[in-house]
Amino acid sequence: MSSNTGGSGRARLADIAKQAGVSEATVSRALNDKPGVSEAARGLVLTALDVLGFERPERLRKRSVGLVGLVIPELENPIFPTFAQMIETSLSQHGFTPVLCTQTPGGTTEDEYVEMLLTQHVSGIIFVSSRNSDTTADPTRYRKLVDGRLPIVGINGYVKGVEAPFFSCDDRIAGEHAVRHLADLGHCRIGFISGPRRFAPVQRRFDGYTRTMRELFDLDGPELVELTEYSPFGVEGGHASADRLLDRGVTGLVCGSDLMALGAIRAARNRGLAVPTDFSVVGHDDSPLMPFTDPPMTTLRQPVREIALAAVTAVVDEIGGHPAPHSEYLFRPELVVRGTTGPCPC
């Protein structure tokens, strides 16, 4: 074991023990690959080595028992850094070090990241809103990982036929709650905007939206198509989609993300409309800054903490040889009513 810091071997053991929260004896046994050390304690020691800048002993480098890959989309949408932070914190508490892989347009692909993670001999991988949420993606990539006995867990995207646990927000309920809230305020021309339709959360949210619109207003397919717009996720996509729906007389809007909702508010204000006096907007996710927007955002809160903790528990159990049932677990969203929704002006 070496480091760029000086000091005696005893001091180093004490530093590692303090960082890991274990005894010096446990550190010594773990570093010498001796029996009598649990995998959790061994992971804590390896994590402490990484944090303090010590090199892992050669005998332990190939094992990488403390590494778990975390594949996540771009970090511009604040909900993804929130997921990353929750997952990283929980993994650390279990003695694992996350290897964060952030995707950006034109950058490293998910498959390239997976290859890199495999060369690092990670103990498992958590996929957040990655290709696991794309219904047009080839599921073979995940089956190969499972067949190779690498524990994987998916968040906000279910891949049918892949023997792994998946954890998602119940987006159908989210779409339903948003419509009912606007309908209770007197809105009937309620629009729906979201990102590309190939993503499972988008499809489910739209399903909840259309089912509730039919129930409350007896609308048919063509009428619902007129009230629906898809565009890239983000503020610009929300602005463009809302512009088109405002031309069609929409007074309330269900948005696929908080960023899209912010774009919709900007589109309304550019027309001289006041939110919520003239136009109501419901976001999705309840990103960290939504209580502080002007006005504060009404949104569907995604239970990020609960989903993240469940996913980490599942991957740790899988690594430990005690797998959870391979199915999808749905978590209910919560409607958070703030200042962007109000009575219909009609």
Strand partners, 102: 72
CA 212 – CA 307 distance, rounded (Å) = 26
16 vs 1 pLDDT, higher one? 16
pLDDT score for 62: 47
Contacts of 277 (CB under 8 A, 6+ apart): 342, 345
Mean pLDDT of 156-164: 92
Q: What is the pTM of this model?
A: 0.80
Which domains are present in the chain?
9-61 (1.10.260.40), 67-169+303-331 (3.40.50.2300), 171-301 (3.40.50.2300)
pLDDT confidence tier of residue 247, bands split at 50, 70 and 90:
very high
20 vs 213 pLDDT, higher one? 213
Contacts of 66 (CB under 8 A, 6+ apart): 42, 43, 46, 47, 50, 95, 96, 97, 123
pLDDT of 165 above 80: yes
Beta carbons of 115 and 182 less than 8 angstroms apart: no
pLDDT tens digits, 272-319: 999 999 999 999 999 999 999 999 999 999 999 999 999 999 999 999
pLDDT score for 61: 55
104 vs 111 pLDDT, higher one? 111
pLDDT of 261 above 50: yes
pLDDT confidence tier of residue 58, bands split at 50, 70 and 90:
low
What proportion of the chain, given as a percentage, has pLDDT over 90? Answer: 71
pLDDT of 18 above 80: yes
pLDDT score for 82: 94
pLDDT confidence tier of residue 9, bands split at 50, 70 and 90:
low
* Angle at the Cα of 344 from the Cα atoms of 266 and 301, rounded to 5 degrees: 60
Mean pLDDT of 327-344: 97
Distances from the Cα of 53 to the Cαs of 3, 59, 149, in angstroms?
Answer: 6, 17, 31
CA 54 – CA 48 distance, rounded (Å) = 8
pLDDT of 114 above 90: yes
CA 81 – CA 88 distance, rounded (Å) = 10
> Which of 72-86, 199-213, 315-329 is modeled with the greatest confidence?
199-213
